[in-house]
Chains A and B, each alone.
Chain A
Amino acid sequence: MERRIIVDPNLCDGCGICQLICAFEKEKVWHPSAARILLTQSEDNSWIHPVVCQHCDSPPCAVFCVMNLISKDDRNDCTIREETRCIGCRACEAVCPFSAAVWMEDRGVVVHCDLCGGQPQCVKYCPSGALQYYTPEEANARRRYHIAGSRAVEVQSAMPGARGEKR
C-alpha cells in the first residue's frame, strides 16, 4: 500500500503549524482556515488531534459529487479531484465522515489533502513528530514495537527484585 499521513495523537501538542504550512503551501494564505488538515479537540481540551483525508477505499465524497469529479487514482490509490470542475455544491463536504473535505469560501470550491504530490509539507514541518508519512503497514509495525517496548518496561519493573531500569 502507498504511504499516508499517519497521526500519533500522543505526540501532538496542538501547535497548529501543520495548518499554517498547509494553508500557505496550497492556498498561499497564512491562516488555519484555509488548511486541508483539521485540528479536532476533546471536550475537555485534554487532547488535540489532527484529522486529514483518509483516502477511503470507497469514498462517500465521490458518490455524492454531482459533477463526478472525485475518483480514485489507479497508480497510488489516492482519492483525487478535478478542482477546476467543482461548482461548489458542498455535498462532498457534508458526507465526509472526517470533515476532511474543506470548503474554500473565497474560491467557491471544496478541496481535500492531495499529500502534496507525495511530499506532505505538514509532515515535514511538524515539530513534535505527531504527523508521520508511512504506509499503514509500517505505521502498525512501529506502533506494535512501541507498545511492546513500553509494556516490557512495565513488566520488568513490576518483577520482584528487579531494578526497573529504564532505557
Chain B
Amino acid sequence: MRIVIVGNGAAANEAVATIGRVDSRSEIILLARETLPQYSACALADILADWIPVQKAFLKNEQDYRQPGIEACLGEEVIALHPAEKYVQTRYNDYSYDRLIIASGSSAVIPPVPGRNLEGNFILKNMSDVVDIQQHQPHKAVVVGAGNIGVETAIALKHVGCDVVLIEKQEFILSNIFDSHPSAIIQQLLEKDGIPVYTREGVVEVDGSERVEGVTTDHRSIPCDTVIWTAGTKPNVSWAEQAGIQIGQLGGIKVDRHMHTSVQDVFACGDCIETFHMLTGKPALSGLWSGAKIQARTAALNCMGEDAEYEGICNMLIEEVGGKPCLSMGLTTQDLSESNLRLIEEYKQGDYYRVLLVDDRIMGFQSIGRVNGSGAMFSLLRKRTRVQDVKDALDNRQLQAGLSWYVQAGDYLFPERSSKED
C-alpha cells in the first residue's frame, strides 16, 4: 500500500513510526514544506533563551529518513490535492496515494495592523523564525499575545538580556490555559522578573518607516526594535479545503473519531484538524504536541485497516515562570462558565493550586509551584472518577495502602484532611 503523509512535525513522524510498526512493507512518502529534519517546536523558545544549543532541538537527522520503504521529500510543499484521481501535487511532482494522511500543522496569525511588514516583525513558529530573531539581535522587544508561546518567548528574550514588554488583548494572560486568579499570580511572577505585562490592550499600529521603531496600542506607545507576534495560530487547511474536504466551525479539518476526513481514504491529524474535547464533547482544536502524537497513531492505525478510536482532546501544559512550574490540565472556568462549578483552592507554603469540579468530577486542575501528585490528578480527571469515590477509597485503610499514589491527589482534593494532621 502506498501512503502519502503530508508534514514533518510531531503528527507526521508519529504516523510514519506507527505505520512502520504495523506493516513494514507499505510504501511511505513524506512530503514536507521545510527542508530541515524533524525538530521539536516546543524547544524553540529554549533555543532563543540560549538554554539549549540549536542541535539539541532536532529529533531526527537526515539519515533517519533514509529507511527502506520511506521516501522523504523535504522541501516539497503540497499545493493541491485531487481526491477523485487520488494524488497530491507539489511544485515539482505529483504523488499518487492509496491512503493520504494530512498533518500539515498550523501557522501563526498576524492581525492586519499597519506596519506589520516592517523589518523587525517576527513570529515564533518554525526553526527559521528563531534564526531570524537571533540574527536581528533584538534589544527591546514587544511580544504581542500572552498565550503559552508568548509567555515563553518573553521569558526567553529577557533571559538573553533583551528588554521585553508583553501585551495581551484579553482580560488576563494565558486565558486559554489558566483561570483569572492563577493567571494574575503568573503575571506577578513575570513582572517580578522584569517583564511588564499590559492586558486588555490591542496593537493599533507598528511604528517606523523602514524598520520597527515602536508599537502603538490603544493605551500607549512603546519604543522598540522588535515585535514578536504570538497572537494565535490557525490550522493549515487551504489546499485541503479547495479539494472539497469539510472544514469545521473552528477552522480545522473536520475528522471523525477515526481521524478520517470527509473524503474517502484521506485522514488528518495534528494541529490542522478539529476534533472534540474529551470532557465536554464540544468541537476543539488540538494545538499541542501530545495530542498530535495520539491522533497520528489513531490515524495511522485506521489507515492500515485497523480499528482505533480517538478519545478526545485533554491537554496538559506546563511552563516555568520565575523559577516556578505553572501547570494546567483539562478545562478552565472560562470553558465551564455555564455549569454548576465548584472550586477547591489553596495557598500552601507559597504555592497555589485550584481544582475545578463539576458534578463531583474533576474538570480542571491548575497548580503553581508544585508538580508532585499532579499526575494522579490527571489520571482521575481522564478517568472521570467521582471525588466521593476517591474519598471512599482513601477512607478505607486497606484500599488506601493499595492506592498509595492517590494519596497525593487526596492532598489536593481534601485539603481539610491533610491540614488536620499538621
- A and B are partners in one complex rather than unrelated chains: yes
A binding-site residues for B, Cβ under 8 Å: 9, 40-47, 49, 51, 60, 63-64, 66-68, 85, 87, 89-91, 93-99, 101, 103
- Residue pairs across A and B with Cβ atoms less than 8 A apart, 8 shown, are A42-B400, A43-B417, A87-B56, A94-B378, A95-B316, A97-B376, A101-B375, A103-B371
Find chain B residues with CB under 8 A from A89 CB: 42, 318
Taking Cβ atoms with an 8 Å cutoff, the residues of B that contact A are 10, 13, 40, 42-43, 46, 51-52, 56, 59, 289-290, 293-294, 316, 318, 320, 325, 327, 329, 371-376, 378-379, 394, 397, 400-402, 404-405, 407-408, 410, 417-418, 421
Instruction: Give A67 to B58 CA distance when docked, in angstroms.
Output: 8
Contacts of B13 on A, CB cut-off 8 Å?
Answer: 68
- Closest B residue to A64 by CB, please name it: B290
Inter-subunit contact A60/B375 (CB<8 Å): yes
Chain A residue at smallest Cβ distance from B382: A60
- A43, B408: Cβ atoms closer than 8 Å: no
Of the candidates A40, A44, A95, A96, the one whose C-beta lies within 8 Å of that of B404 is A40
Q: Is the contact region of chain A dominated by helix, strand, or loop, or is it mixed?
A: loop
- A40 with B407, Cβ < 8 A, contacts A63-B290, A63-B293, A90-B325 known: yes
Q: Cβ of A60: which chain B residues have Cβ within 8 Å of it?
A: 375, 378-379
CB-CB under 8 A from B46, the residues of chain A are: 87
Which residues of chain A come closer than 8 Å to B372, judged between CB atoms?
Answer: 99
Is A99 touching B405 in the complex (CB atoms < 8 A)?
yes
CB contact between A90 and one of B371, B405, B407, B417 (< 8 Å): that residue: B371
- Shortest B251–chain A CB gap in Å is 24
B405 touches A64 (CB 8 A): no
Inter-chain contact B421/A43, CB cutoff 8 Å:
yes
Q: Which of B10, B320, B404, B407 contacts A9 (CB 8 A)?
A: B404
Contacts of A97 in B (CB 8 A): 375-376, 378-379, 405
For A101, the chain B residues whose CB sits under 8 A away are: 375
